Amino acid sequence: MTGMVIAVTGDVGAGKSEVSRLFGLSGDHWIDTDQVAAELWLEPEIVAAAADRWGGENILDEDGRVLHGAVAERIFTDPKEYTWLMGLLHPRIWTEAKRQIDLFFSESGVESWIVVEAPLLFEAGVPSWVSATVFVTARRETRLVRCRARGWDDAELTRREGFFLPSEERMARSDYVIHNDGSLEDLKKKVDAIFRYAEQT
């Protein structure tokens, strides 16, 4: 593989997508693993496995499409179901991300940057092809305001956080940490600083 892969993860509501977008402006390609997962949910094999696990009548609409809210209700209330789904999806997510990375680098033919946004980076296991990891965090009050825009209250934020490794552990395992409590301009400066430093190392 030619080039560098920066994996961005972080706390719920901390601003991972915005950081990934800003890194992507400096880099050459951006892979959103949530989007990869959404595309996997269109594959008959994945739909069939989930329907067999939970009952099609419980998680599919009348056209056979997955009701993501129904799936979330199952996995974010039962660690066993969460673990099962991660085992189903994440090996495929990493395989597809690696395919896209290899394709991009082979076609570009130059030293390039790729940004991979991966909410479950450490939970799923950091792939060997990741060059550096960035963890995005913010004060809980700040994150709760952002989560309310998604329709989540404090209880829902707490519930979802319970399925991640502790923030302190993920920060300690990251190469870079960004605190995203300020303005967009402040955030851009932090991303640019990391980008320039990583380019030189």
Do residues 27 and 136 make contact, with C-beta atoms less than 8 angstroms apart?
no
Taking the alpha carbons of 152, 155, 160, 165 in that order, is the dihedral positive or negative? positive
Q: Is 2 a residue whose pLDDT tops 90?
A: no
Do residues 90 and 124 make contact, with C-beta atoms less than 8 angstroms apart?
yes
Tokens of 190: 């932090």
Query: Which residue matches tokens 């490794």?
Result: 165
Query: What whole-number distance in Å separates Cα of residue 45 and Cα of residue 24?
Result: 32
Q: What percent of the chain has pLDDT over 90?
A: 73
pLDDT at 130: 94
What are the boundaries of each domain within the chain?
4-196
pLDDT at 180: 95
pLDDT at 110: 58
Q: Per-residue pLDDT tens for 76-133? A: 999 999 999 999 999 999 999 999 998 888 876 556 788 999 999 999 999 999 999 9
pLDDT at 30: 87
pTM of the model: 0.88
Average pLDDT over residues 59-75: 94
Tokens of 49: 């496995």
Query: What whole-number distance in Å separates Cα of residue 152 and Cα of residue 11?
Result: 15
Contacts (Cβ under 8 Å, ≥6 apart) of 80:
none
Average pLDDT over residues 37-48: 96
pLDDT at 74: 94
Q: Is 192 a residue whose pLDDT tops 70?
A: yes
Q: What is the CATH number of domain 4-196?
A: 3.40.50.300
Tokens of 51: 């329907």
Question: Considering only CA atoms, which of 147, 128, 121 is closest in space to residue 31?
Answer: 121
72-76 own/partner pairs: CB under 8 Å, 24+ apart: 75/163, 76/159, 76/160, 76/163
Per the prediction, the chain carries an average pLDDT of: 90
pLDDT at 97: 95
pLDDT at 164: 92
| Element holding 99 (H helix, E strand) | helix 79-108
- 176: which strand partners? 134
pLDDT band at 7 (very low <50, low <70, confident <90, very high): very high
pLDDT at 123: 92
Do residues 176 and 49 make contact, with C-beta atoms less than 8 angstroms apart?
no
pLDDT band at 201 (very low <50, low <70, confident <90, very high): low
pLDDT at 104: 85
pLDDT at 31: 92
Q: Is 1 a residue whose pLDDT tops 60?
A: no
Q: Is 151 left (phi over 0), alpha (psi -120 to 50) or beta?
A: left
